Structure 1
């Protein structure tokens, strides 16, 4: 289903992105909401997206109350027909599309041997098709505007994490998809990028599934390991503005890239040791 909540306000803020139109999937909450806020503060008109009409309406009202030019559209981005309607609603409201940020995803906390196959598929679909389908629907319009698509991946894509098999696989797929599309679309002028986010403060109701597909509590980590959602959002938008190919957020993420490339065995040992310490700390 796709449903435009209301028409958008006619005026937005001046700024470096004035005149640009951005679509951010999974922006009814969390990092997506904060990314939409930063885009709006820089002058872009923003289409918010999510699956919960009530939550999406609250976020739309919040950002409009801050003077931002936003509207919301309910759509399940793992459904291609819904993505076509989402893009059509964007064009009907704002007349163009310049920036697509595919942020919607479901996470997990379950070991592969315990996971029900349909749960694995649900997590993988949200992270892969939840990016593929919006881009497929939006691509002709991004070509027309010589615009930008950014996939939100994770440092988990750089080095596998126990209890995150489907999530890691999906996020790694996005990194390779971005590389492939960058080659295929090189002559079109479309920017294709990927951002690997690290540990970030999450909303309490972030969707994390157990092996049976039931929601599980968010793991709390020491503050020094985390960035705020606003910090991550600013990095994502700067990545888009600079049309970067890849951004790895946090020193930890960059260290993972280095160790995984040069000393993969050491990287696996560090991950296993860190997870044991976290389990001891929180259990």
Structure 2
């Protein structure tokens, strides 16, 4: 077992993190940022080749990483993931439940099994890693960050299962904060807005086939590194909720105080900007 860094100037020095879904995208950049700020990180994904490529890239940069191939919708896999962190680094302080599947399909067209697959990835993909990690997080009085979406704040057409799953995770976070208040564990949720994606990023269509995500104007998107920096600030400050982007803040305000206006805006964009959803 290797000794953890203790550099006082590094915000996460001496901490060990698991970031699910970190073989690519936002998860990868969050893992990279945590390492650069002193943490040792266990990477996770379902594709062995892509996960190993990410592990090697971070390790070659001098960052302290381990990796575990695991499907976070399988509880036994999540137990292995947590065990990998304890074996490699001896403790667990931070869990970021980032792994999930998204969609690009209207509810009426979706096969039931596809709806279940998307919902399971977003709900059980957060619940199972946490359930496996909770005893260690209680020992360290650690931190749990659920990655949600601004689409959980006000439903998004062509995203029914994804929106439902992300909203469930946000409510789960609130419930656990109350249930486990005496443990000292931090429970927080980050609602991510439109973010630049890896070129190979795919979501599921109505039949469960992988397709490119719907169009997003580049000017509305944050980089993955920018989102990762916000996630780290959220963890460091042990915040209860962080909503990323000006658009996300507007959605919160409109959904809270002018919900009918919010619905009118969405219905108008469906008619005039169908490519935004399809």
Does the 8 A contact of 1:128 with 1:174 survive in 2? yes
> C-alpha offsets along residues 112-145 of structure 1, whole Å, 9 cap, x if unaligned?
1110000000000000000000000000100000
Q: Distance in 2 between matches of 1:282 and 1:84?
A: 37
User: Residues 90 and 282 from structure 1, CA distance in 2 versus in 1: closer, same or farther, beyond 3 angstroms?
Assistant: closer
Specify the alignment match of 1:118 in structure 2: 113
2:240 aligned with 1:245, yes or no? yes
Query: Within 5 Å, which residues of 2 pair with 1:53-92?
Result: 53-92=48-87
Post-superposition Cα deviations, 1:49-78, rounded to whole Å, max 9, x if no partner, equal 000000000000111121110111000000
What is the aligned length?
276
Task: Write the distance in 1 (CA, Å) between the matches of 2:172 and 2:53.
Answer: 33
The 8 Å contact of residues 10 and 69 in structure 1, kept in 2 or not, is answered as: no
Q: Summarize the Cα distance change of 1:195–1:280 in structure 2 as closer, same or farther, 3 Å threshold.
A: closer
Task: Give the TM-score of the pair, scaled to structure 1.
Answer: 0.94
SS in 1 for 2:162: helix
Please report how far the alpha carbon of residue 280 of structure 1 lies from its aligned counterpart in structure 2 after TM superposition: 5.7
Where does residue 148 of structure 1 map in the other structure?
Answer: 143
Question: Considering only aligned residues, what root-mean-square deviation do their CA atoms show, in Å?
Answer: 1.7
- How many Å apart are 1:282 and its aligned residue? 9.7
2:163 to 165, 168, 171: 168
Is 1:36 matched with 2:58? no
Distance 1:255 1:108 in 2: 23
The equivalent of 1:3 in structure 2 is none
For 2:219 and 2:48, locate their aligned partners in 1 and report how far apart those are by CA, in whole Å.
34
2:222 matches 1:227 = yes
In structure 2, the CA distance between the partners of 1:238 and 1:280, relative to structure 1 (3 Å rule), is closer
Q: Confirm or deny that 1:259 pairs with 2:260.
A: no
Deviation at residue 273 of structure 1 after TM alignment = 2.0
TM-score (norm 2): 0.96
Tell me which stretches of 4 or more aligned residues in structure 1 moved more than 4 Å.
8-13, 280-283
Where structure 1 has 5 or more consecutive residues not aligned to the other structure, the ranges are: 1-7
Are the counterparts in 1 of residues 119 and 161 from structure 2 also a CA contact under 8 Å?
Answer: yes
